[in-house]
Amino acid sequence: MEFTAQQIAGLLNGQIEGDANVKITKLSKIEEGETGSISFLANPKYTHYIYSTNASLVIVNKDLELTAPVSATLIRVDSAEIAFSKLLEMYNQVKLNKSGISKHSFISETAKVGSNIYAGEFAVVGENVKIGNNVKIYPQVFIGDNSVIGDNTTLFAGVKVYSETVIGKNCIIHSGTVIGSDGFRFNPQNDNQKIPQIGNVIIEDNVEIGANCAIDRATLGSTILRKGVKFDNLIHIAHNVEIGENSYLAAGNVIAGSTKIGKNCMFSGQVGIVGHVEVADNTIITAQSGISKSVTKKGEVLMGSPAFEASKYRKTYVHFRNLDALVKRVDNIEKKEKE
């Protein structure tokens, strides 16, 4: 892809200083700029790089005052950070704008496929699947029978979607994720016989799921990710879990079966939550915390394992660290009393 400074300035509604015809073929950080690349300057700590960067084009704030000559062409905008984010989004759309159905893919004759879809090599679409418009199915994706994929959804390479799964519009599922695998249910009173998992997974609109996540189907009913949910990589969601709207889970979270997570929650990395509990809306849980009972108060910040209110945890932690010294003091007091 190749663009001129003039074209980019038009997209960003910016003002050019320098060569309007300079050609851009790639993006770069300002400190690693190369000829033919475009970068941006938003953080004042990086201002000195504007005078030494080899980038051909740099997006800067309108109010940036130069103290020496620069070799790069500049585009001045209201907010360099927002403008560059917009540019990244456009670049990504162009880069991922794949279309067409590979002759090496397989789509069942009973599947209903929308317009302008992309199906890469060795993608498999099962029987009675319904696929919306502008869906992108990258190589080696498997979509099981009777599943539904909404408009504008992207399934990156190697995603596996088991049967009866429902995925909404504008979703992004990253490579290696498995949706609809069996829940972990066995009967210890009957020689650990497997309990059949006959439910499904429902993923609502505007959900993004990172790489190598596992979302189990329900035993009965549905495991549900509500609209706007965002997952990092390596997250496990067990059977019959429900994640509320616009909740964010960082890498390594594990949510046990039948747990209900509220809206607008934010969980840091490696949070673990036991089964059959509820977590109230707007809850924040810090990294490596363990939740062993329901969280009923909205908006709490929790820390520790088992987790409790973060400000109390920090105060208590001071005593944790001093516990050895406190024990020695008590031992000395007891020894003196005996003497």
Q: Which amino acid is at 21?
A: N
- The C-alpha atoms of residue 293 and residue 159 are separated, in whole angstroms, by 33
Q: Give helix 323-338 / helix 310-321 axis angle, nearest 10°.
A: 50
- The C-alpha atoms of residue 247 and residue 228 are separated, in whole angstroms, by 7
SS (H, E, C) 290-317: EECCCECCCCCEEEECCEEEHHHHHHHH
- The C-alpha atoms of residue 81 and residue 320 are separated, in whole angstroms, by 43
* CB 41, CB 49: distance < 8 Å: yes
Tell me the backbone φ, ψ of residue 265, rounded to 5 degrees. Answer: -85, 155
233-248 b/e (C-beta count within 10 Å ≥ 16 → b): bbbbbbbbbbbbbbbb
Residue of 5, 33, 1, 8 whose CA lies nearest to 21: 5
- The C-alpha atoms of residue 47 and residue 152 are separated, in whole angstroms, by 39
313-326 b/e (C-beta count within 10 Å ≥ 16 → b): beeeeeeeeeeeee
- Name the one residue in this structure whose structure tokens are 């990092």: 232
Rounded to an integer, what is the distance from CA 264 to the centroid of its chain?
14
Residue 209 burial by CB count (10 A; 0-12/13-18/19+): exposed, middle or buried? buried
Residues serving a catalytic function are: 239
